[in-house]
């Protein structure tokens, strides 16, 4: 490494990114484990029982972080997809590819834990209200993007097609977020927002935020690890890195 | 702390089933994903060594 300063752009090449990600993953993983330990302790032993929902409300400590990550990861995926399309940057597409499965997982978990919460508090596993329906659509979007990618053999076409689909679908994210305000939903409104004081006890909010941070660290660790897999897998593709591939690419355009 | 005993903690005020399924499923999914990525990276590393 040079002593005159770090050129961060060099990490935009997969060959340099691979070892960097490898060094970062253990830190993110350790942070995820530590923070979830603290978050679970706060959530189960410090936060009081809710006056109206009893202890069922404790599902919030996985439900809200999972739901937030499902939306946040979608936006991240769409941003990388957009950068990939705009700059024709292969690593950006790979990043989008690496994020998709984790986003889908968190969407599934948000829906599952939500129904676990809905049954005791609303009396129904599922209702077709705006929040739940738009989140279900988000799950289908993730699955659609993953399937579209895997159904196209040509990597460049797969990258571009799934990036376009990811970008178009980003319109659903604000719909999910604001659905509880725009429509009269059974799902409760936001308990925490930037503009207003939280509508729950401080220790509950703290536990929820710590769990969210833990999920965040987990997502970083897992997507970076998957990114490393994608880099190596693509290296194995015959078109990778050979000078002979360049005229082929030029011809294909 | 509001739990008098381990049984009370597990019961979660009568909502134990819902709470533990939620946390259990989350832990399982995350653990499963970590395992899947780990195996994938092992496979990728093995294929890289072959070539």
Residue A23 lies in a domain: no
Are the beta carbons of B29 and A109 separated by less than 8 Å?
Answer: yes
* Total domain count, chain A: 1
Per-residue confidence (pLDDT) for residue B13, from 0 to 100? 87
Instruction: Assess B30–A contact: CB distance below 8 Å, yes or no.
Output: yes
Residue A10 lies in a domain: no
Which of A108, A112, A232 shows the shortest C-beta gap to B45?
A232
Residue A65 lies in a domain: yes
- Please give the distance of CA A34 from its chain centroid, rounded to a whole number: 20
Distance in Å, alpha carbon of B19 to nearest chain A alpha carbon: 6
pLDDT in tens, A82-120: 999 999 889 999 999 999 999 999 999 999 999 999 999
Residue A225 lies in a domain: yes
Residue A244 lies in a domain: no
* Residues of chain A numbered 162-221 and touching chain B (CB < 8 Å): 218
Residue A248 lies in a domain: no
Are the beta carbons of B19 and A55 separated by less than 8 Å?
Answer: yes
* Total domain count, chain B: 1
Are the beta carbons of A229 and B37 separated by less than 8 Å?
Answer: yes
Distance in Å, alpha carbon of A121 to nearest chain B alpha carbon: 10
Residue-number span of the structural domain to which A120 is assigned: 35-46+60-238
Residue B43 lies in a domain: yes
Which stretches of chain A are DSSP H helices?
A: 14-41, 60-87, 90-122, 130-151, 155-169, 172-182, 202-235, 245-252
Residue B14 lies in a domain: yes
pTM of this structure:
0.88
pLDDT in tens, A199-227: 777 888 999 999 999 999 999 999 999 99
Residue-number span of the structural domain to which B43 is assigned: 6-50
Residue B38 lies in a domain: yes
Are the beta carbons of B15 and A232 separated by less than 8 Å?
Answer: no
Nearest Cα residue to B33 out of A99, A91, A39, A149? A99
**pLDDT of A1 over the 60 cut:** no
Residue B1 lies in a domain: no
pLDDT in tens, B1-51: 678 889 888 888 889 999 999 999 999 999 999 999 999 999 988 887 765
**DSSP tag of A59:** G
Residue A188 lies in a domain: yes
Residue B37 lies in a domain: yes
Residue A92 lies in a domain: yes
């Amino acid at each position: 490494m040079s002593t005159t300063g770090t050129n961060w752009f060099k990490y935009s090449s997969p060959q340099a990114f691979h070892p960097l990600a490898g060094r970062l993953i253990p830190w993110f993983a350790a942070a995820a484990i530590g923070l979830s330990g603290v978050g679970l302790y706060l959530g189960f032993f410090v936060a009081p029982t809710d006056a109206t929902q009893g202890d069922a409300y404790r599902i919030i400590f996985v439900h809200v972080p999972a739901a937030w990550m499902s939306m946040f990861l979608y936006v991240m995926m769409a941003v990388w997809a957009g950068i990939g399309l705009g700059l024709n940057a292969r690593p950006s597409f790979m990043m989008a590819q690496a994020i998709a499965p984790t986003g889908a997982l968190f969407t599934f978990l948000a829906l599952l834990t939500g129904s676990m919460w809905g049954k005791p508090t609303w009396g129904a596993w599922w209702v077709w209200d705006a929040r739940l329906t738009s989140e279900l659509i988000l799950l289908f979007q993730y699955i659609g993007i993953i399937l579209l990618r895997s159904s196209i053999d040509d990597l460049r076409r797969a990258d571009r097609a799934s990036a376009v689909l990811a970008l178009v679908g980003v319109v659903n994210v604000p719909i999910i977020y604001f659905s509880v305000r725009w429509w009269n939903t059974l799902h409760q409104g936001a308990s925490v927002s930037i503009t207003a004081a939280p509508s729950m006890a401080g220790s509950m909010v703290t536990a929820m935020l710590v769990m969210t941070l833990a999920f965040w660290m987990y997502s970083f660790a897992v997507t970076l690890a998957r990114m490393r897999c994608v880099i190596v897998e693509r290296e194995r593709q015959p078109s990778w890195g050979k000078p002979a591939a360049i005229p082929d690419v030029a011809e294909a355009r | 702390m509001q739990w008098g005993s381990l049984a009370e903690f597990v019961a979660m005020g009568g909502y134990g089933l819902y709470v533990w399924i939620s946390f259990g499923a989350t832990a399982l999914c995350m653990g499963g994903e970590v395992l899947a990525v780990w195996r994938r990276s092992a496979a990728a590393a093995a294929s890289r060594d072959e070539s």
